[in-house]
Structure 1
Amino acid sequence: MNRFKALYIHTPFCRRKCLYCDFYSESKVLNEKDLKKLVLSELSLLNPNLSQFPTVYFGGGTPSLLTPDFFEAILSKVGQFSEVTVEFNPEDVTSEKLKALKEIGVNRISLGIQSLSSKVLRKLGRTQSPEDNLKALESVLSVFSNVSVDLIYGAPGQKADEILEEVDKITEYPIKHLSLYALTVYEETPLSQLVKEKKLELPHEEEVRKSYYEAVEILKEKGFTHYEISNFAVKGFESKHNLIYWKLENYLGLGPSAASFKGGLFWRNYSNYSKYKESLERGKLPIEEREEFKGKELIELKITMGLRLTEGIERKLIPERALESERVRRLIEEGYLEVSEGRVRLGKKGLFISNAVIGELLSAL
């Protein structure tokens, strides 16, 4: 059945933009009533019958700025669901808000701690302290059992042993999921400019690589399954929502800049709140770009997304001539790629440089 399996709602507002963030958001006065009306209007325009989404994810931006009324209005329109995640900034955590969200059906919180180092938080443009982060985590865990935490490694001034200490410390708490992201310096972000001006210095790549592989081992020792390049979970608590992305199943995105995918068709909304609003007020879907994937392009997309998972992809997705090519044989021999039991997956050496390995594989198709 060609139906959506996941719903994503993008909240485009933040108190302030973090130095490294390239997601669409605006530091402006939040008009929650306006956003709620627009998102519900978009859902209605798409199809009033699209009311069953196994997973729902509120991301941003900063969805934790919104009141429980916003989430209740959306969830009341989307039927039954097995996983509902809300991203939270530590500074927005209150016991009252958490309990109210739980009552209306939210059952998973993703807490953006990012770091337990005052120095790193400051360099990333985060305002909370390590103590604030841990206090927020304790509050979330007092209400929710399914809690994910985000940590960043490879940040300016960060040493390998520092992120390992943070991973060790954060997993002393009964969290179920950890996303461990390498800091990416995106063009047109304040961080990029600071690095170019040599006002901030990034760690050497070898130190970042060491951080990643040693953190992977710590998390395995702590009982976490490494199920995706940057994601780790207690068994059974993998992100159901994100698995739909990586397996390239159908998903629907609502809100400014939100992306959707259905049967090979990809589309994205305007990354501009005013244009998003104007379009919906005219009774039109706020789509800025559309692209259809089919044939070889669709296969390449499935390979690119699927190889992010440590279980890899079915071998039959890749032609035998590609697997037998010199460049792919070299990737396998050197441990960057593995082929076994009817599947193709990244080897241990390939995890840290996944984009390069996947690119080399695709060039052999």
Structure 2
Amino acid sequence: MISSLYVHVPFCRSKCPYCDFYSVPRLDLKKSYAKAVLLELSYRSPEFVQFPTIYFGGGTPSLMGVEFFESILRAVGQFSEVTVEINPEDVKRDYLNLLKEAGVNRVSLGIQSFLDKTLKTLGRRQSSSENLKALEETLSVFSNVSVDIIYGVPGQSLKELQKDLEILLSFPVKHVSTYALTVYEETPLYSLVKSGKQELPPEELLREMYYLIKESLESSGFKHYEISNFSLPGFESKHNLSYWELRNYIGIGPSAASYVNGRYTKNISDVKEYVRALLEGRPFIEETVDHSEEEEKELRLIMGMRLLRGVNLNELGLKEKFESALQKEPALQLLLEEGYLVYREPELSLGTPGLFISNTVIGKLCSVLFD
């Protein structure tokens, strides 16, 4: 069973200085890309009967006309949750209505901030007023709306983040994704930070920001269900849950990844080469990795520990291994004693102190169990 379909739309009007996702400002390639994506979907059709969830991400999916989404949804036929990422500057009432008529029932809006100062630092094209208008307009058409917020921006204060959260919570959104600004090599932001022209907030301020987000959203009825994600009850991202639970998924489009029965594949990352390969009937996958049973256990542990509910060690076949390690490894004992990990047999999860340093905690757990 394939749990989800991801469609990568690689186009942007301009590249944000912090973005590490594959995207290009080549809007002239949209038509040939759309043909190639449908071809890839037809080649992969023997792998699925239906997709419970479909997610159009990018890049900027909202640069595509409604007919693009209609063609994909028509080819799939059956689905339950269909999400489209939309840039605030693309929000138009007619466009939203057409998306809804096509079968889209969930929108992820790339707000990032409601403050002009923060948006300018991030290199975003939209203004605060445009973000407010876009969110109001989107909520007038869609009831299931998710908003992205970035924190840890150079020069951002705790008070400014609090203002962002206050504005956000004045709207009836159902889901919030919050991301600490990450500096990736080969991005303009990396060069600015390395040269000293931009300075990221200190770790202690980042920690305060993370727990301010957690406290603000939870006190407003949101459930913290994944390290970076919050939702009102029943509005978790079903699509993203398939990743964190490591269920089989297919990704189509340039640079998109798939995971089916232990095999990871990644498509060609260059849109021109991707299109050429599909139209000429040549291979479009550039990377394939087959995971052993033990490697898949580790992957399931890594992904599952991102969820606040954690993992069932019995189901992963790791309970005996974990309890044996617990007797021998002082570092593992310390993580439990200090609340970074919580073990309620047979379930293991991150404790509240472990959420902010989750990569470190999960990395240590894996090094104990698998090295």
The CA RMSD over aligned residues, in Å, is: 1.1
Rounded Cα–Cα distance in structure 1 between residues aligned with 2:60 and 2:283? 23
Structure 1 gaps of 5+ residues are none
Q: CA deviation at 1:50?
A: 2.9
Query: How far is the alpha carbon of 1:217 from its aligned partner?
Result: 0.7
- The equivalent of 1:360 in structure 2 is 364
Pair 1:200–1:49, CA change in 2 (3 A): closer
- Whether the 8 Å contact between 1:87 and 1:112 is mirrored in structure 2 is yes
Alpha-carbon distance, 1:313 to partner:
0.3
Match of 2:330 in 1: 326
- Measured against aligned partners, the alpha-carbon deviations of 1:59-106 in whole angstroms (never above 9, x if no partner) come to 000000011000000000112111000000000000000000000100
Counterpart in the other structure of 1:343: 347
Query: Which stretch shows the higher mean deviation, 73-82 or 156-165?
Result: 156-165
Give the letter aligned to residue 40 of structure 1: L
Displacement of 1:308? 0.3
User: Is contact 1:59-1:86 (8 Å) kept?
Assistant: yes
Q: Secondary structure at the match of 2:5?
A: strand
- 1: CA distance, partners of 2:169 / 2:266: 36
SS class of match (2:141)? coil
Partner of 1:248: 246
1:49 shift after superposition: 6.5
Map 1:185-334; keep pairs closer than 5 Å. 185-316=183-314, 317=316, 318=318, 319=321, 320-324=323-327, 325-334=329-338
Distance 1:41 1:51 in 2: 17
C-alpha displacement at 1:297, in angstroms? 1.0
Alpha-carbon distance in 1 for matches of 2:15, 2:79: 31
Does the alignment pair 1:53 with 2:57?
no
Q: TM-score, normalised by structure 1?
A: 0.97
* Matching residue within 122, 141, 165 for 1:143: 141
> d(CA) in 2 for partners of 1:169 and 1:300?
40
Identity between Structure 1 and Structure 2 (%): 55
- In the TM superposition, 1:167-178 aligns within 5 A as 167-178=165-176
Question: Which is further off, 203-212 or 275-284?
Answer: 275-284
Write the deviation string for residues 141-170 of structure 1: whole angstroms up to 9, x where unpaired: 000000000000101110112112211220
Shift of 1:51: 4.4
Paired residue for 2:99? Answer: 101
* Cα pair 1:17 1:26 within 8 Å, conserved: yes
Q: Which residue of 2 aligns with 1:118?
A: 116
Shift, 1:294, TM fit? 1.7
Whole-angstrom distance in 2 between the partners of 1:178 and 1:313: 23
Could you list the per-position Cα deviations for residues 104-146 of structure 1 after superposition, in whole angstroms to 9, with x for gaps in the alignment?
Answer: 1000000000011211111111011111001000000000000
Q: Deviations over 1:315-341 (max 9, x none)?
A: 233312223322211110111100014
Amino acid at match of 1:323: L
- Give how far 1:292 is off: 1.2
How many Å separate the matches in 2 of 1:51 and 1:61? 27
Conserved? CA contact 2:8–2:57, under 8 Å: yes
Amino acid paired to 1:9: V
TM-score normalized by structure 2? 0.96
More helix as a share of residues: 2
Aligned length: 363
Matched residue SS, 1:364: helix
Check whether the contact 1:161–1:211 (CA below 8 A) recurs between aligned residues.
no
SS at match of 1:136: helix
Letter in structure 2 aligned against 1:302:
R
Per-residue CA deviations over 1:220-272 (Å, capped at 9, x if unaligned) read: 11000000000000000000000000000000000000000011110011110
Task: Show the counterpart of 2:5.
Answer: 7
Distance of 1:258 and 1:270 partners within structure 2? 8
Partner of 2:152: 154
Q: Is the 8 A contact 2:12 2:60 kept in 1?
A: yes
Matches of 1:220 and 1:49, distance apart in 2: 40
Cα distance in 2 for partners of 1:159, 1:193 equals 22
For the Cα contact (< 8 Å) 2:278–2:284, is it kept in 1? yes
Matched-pair contact (CA < 8 Å) for 2:33–2:271: no
Partner secondary structure for residue 281 of structure 2: coil
Contact 2:114 2:167 in 1 (8 A): no
* 1:49 to 1:199, Cα distance in 2 relative to 1, 3 A: closer
Distance apart, 1:278 and its partner CA: 2.1
Deviates more, 1:287-296 or 1:127-136: 287-296
CA contact (8 A) 1:59 1:87 kept: yes
- Paired residue for 2:162? 164
